[in-house]
């Protein structure tokens, strides 16, 4: 049995901190993901605990009636102590 793995980077966010939410554009991008992946045979959704990642996948999870599994191993590495745009 073959499996397909979809990796989705978070949508546009207000910043880089773990609790930074999606922007209005990011919210629209998250809704657009439903159009891209809504017909795929997705059976499981796993997300980073970061707000922007979780919020990016909520509309798709709701459409597919799937629970989002949060996995702390998916957090981003700190590459710089200074935030970059």
Listed in order, strand segments (DSSP E) in 14-71 are 45-47, 68-70
Listed in order, strand segments (DSSP E) in 1-80 are 45-47, 68-70
**34-74 pLDDT, tens per residue?**
999 989 999 999 999 999 999 999 999 999 999 999 999 99
Domain boundaries, the chain: 24-74
- Cα angle 55, 57, 85 (rounded to 5 degrees) comes to 55
pLDDT recorded at residue 76: 79
pLDDT recorded at residue 63: 96
**14-41 pLDDT, tens per residue?**
998 899 999 999 999 999 999 999 899 9
Sign of CA dihedral 62, 40, 48, 59: negative
Listed in order, strand segments (DSSP E) in the chain are 45-47, 68-70
Token representation of residue 11? 């949508």
- Residue 62: CB atoms within 10 Å: 11
């Amino acid at each position: 049995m073959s499996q397909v793995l979809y990796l989705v980077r978070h949508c546009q966010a207000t910043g880089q901190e773990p609790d930074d939410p999606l922007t209005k554009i990011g919210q629209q991008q998250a809704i657009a993901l439903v159009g891209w992946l809504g017909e795929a045979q997705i059976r499981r959704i796993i997300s980073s605990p970061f707000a922007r990642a979780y919020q990016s996948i909520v509309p798709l999870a709701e459409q597919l009636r799937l629970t989002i599994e949060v996995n702390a191993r998916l957090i981003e590495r700190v590459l710089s102590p200074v935030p970059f745009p």
